[in-house]
């Protein structure tokens, strides 16, 4: 077999799979996703995985449903934040003072 044989799905793949489980009209935080993966402190790694998401997978992974703590949009540059907010609004997610109302749309809220 290959010199390197992953025992299981790479972290990236697990992140994408977890994000796909976020119901439409709901959101989860990076920390929450990390927690689902059994890595409560891997929020940064989750963000990194989404950042590495390729255009080809963007269509199948609802990355816009992942927000930062407090329902804030982490993306700060380019059209990213605007696109994410727009997509969320499209599925009925309400924003309060520029942040997603996690108490209403949060998956674990």
Partner DNA sequence: ATCGTGACGAACG
Partner DNA sequence: CCGTTCGCCACGA
Q: What residues have CB less than 8 Å from 94, skipping those under 6 apart?
A: 100, 101, 104, 105
Residues touching DNA: how many (CB under 7 A)? Answer: 28
- Which runs of E-coded beta strand occur in 40-83? 66-67
Which x/- pattern over 32-51 shows residues binding DNA (rule: CB under 7 A)? x------x-xxxxxxxx-xx
Strands 66-67 and 28-29: parallel
Among 22, 63, 85, 88, binds DNA (CB under 7 A): 63
Per CB under 7 A, 22 contacts DNA: no
> Which stretch in 62-70, 87-95, 101-109 sits in contact with DNA by CB under 7 A?
62-70
Name the residue among 29, 36, 69, 70 with its Cα closest to residue 50. Answer: 29
Q: Which residues bind DNA (CB under 7 A)?
A: 10-12, 29-32, 39, 41-48, 50-51, 53, 63-64, 66, 68-69, 74-75, 80, 84
């Amino acid at each position: 077999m290959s010199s390197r044989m992953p025992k299981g799905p790479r972290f990236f793949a697990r992140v994408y799979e977890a994000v796909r489980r976020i119901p439409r009209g709901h959101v989860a935080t990076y920390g929450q996703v990390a927690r689902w993966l059994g890595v409560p402190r891997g929020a940064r790694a989750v963000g990194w995985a989404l950042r590495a998401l390729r255009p080809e997978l963007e269509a199948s992974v609802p990355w816009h449903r992942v927000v930062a703590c407090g329902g804030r949009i982490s993306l700060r540059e380019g059209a990213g934040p605007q696109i994410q907010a727009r997509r969320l609004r499209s599925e009925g997610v309400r924003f309060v003072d520029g942040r997603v109302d996690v108490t209403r749309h949060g998956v674990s809220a």
